[in-house]
């Protein structure tokens, strides 16, 4: 487990989170990549942040959990960058992503947020 991963995410929660990201990508607004995700969190626009667990070097995303906590934005860890990237609509992996407008995934994002808060 990476240094920045602060809690274990059950496989079913990770699957639900990936599914919500895919729905939000198609019906809402999603930010892709560490820089766009960081900006969305800093501006308070993100409703859910995704952080890949296999990022190397770890410093690329190490700031995100702390920043998201500071802005009171929930975040979920996903096993691989490929999972995050593909769910966000990219053909390559992505170290991070954020849902800005959940679109049809609104209820799913709320459920995931509640579950994440319980896990932490």
Query: Where is average pLDDT lowest: 59-63, 66-70, 107-111?
Result: 107-111
Residue 51 and residue 76 in contact, taking contact as beta carbons nearer than 8 Å: yes
Percent of the chain at pLDDT > 90 equals: 62
> Does residue 109 surpass a pLDDT of 80?
yes
90 lies in some domain: yes
62: buried, middle or exposed (CB in 10 Å: 19+, 13-18, 0-12)? Answer: middle
The CATH code of the domain that includes 59 is: 3.30.1330.30
91: buried, middle or exposed (CB in 10 Å: 19+, 13-18, 0-12)? Answer: exposed
pLDDT level of residue 94 (50, 70, 90 thresholds) = very high
46 lies in some domain: yes
pTM of the shown model: 0.92
Domain containing 35: what range? 11-119
């Amino acid at each position: 487990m990476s240094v920045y991963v602060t809690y274990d995410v059950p496989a079913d929660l990770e699957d639900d989170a990936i599914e919500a990201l895919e729905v939000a990508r198609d019906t809402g607004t999603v930010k892709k990549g560490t820089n766009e995700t960081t900006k969305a969190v800093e501006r308070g626009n993100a409703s859910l942040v995704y952080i890949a667990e296999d990022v190397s070097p770890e410093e690329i995303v190490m700031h995100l959990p702390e920043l998201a906590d500071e802005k009171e934005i929930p975040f979920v860890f996903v096993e691989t960058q490929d999972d995050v990237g593909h769910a966000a609509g990219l053909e390559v992996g992505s170290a991070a992503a954020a849902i800005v407008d959940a679109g049809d995934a609104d209820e799913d994002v709320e459920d995931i947020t509640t579950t994440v808060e319980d896990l932490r």
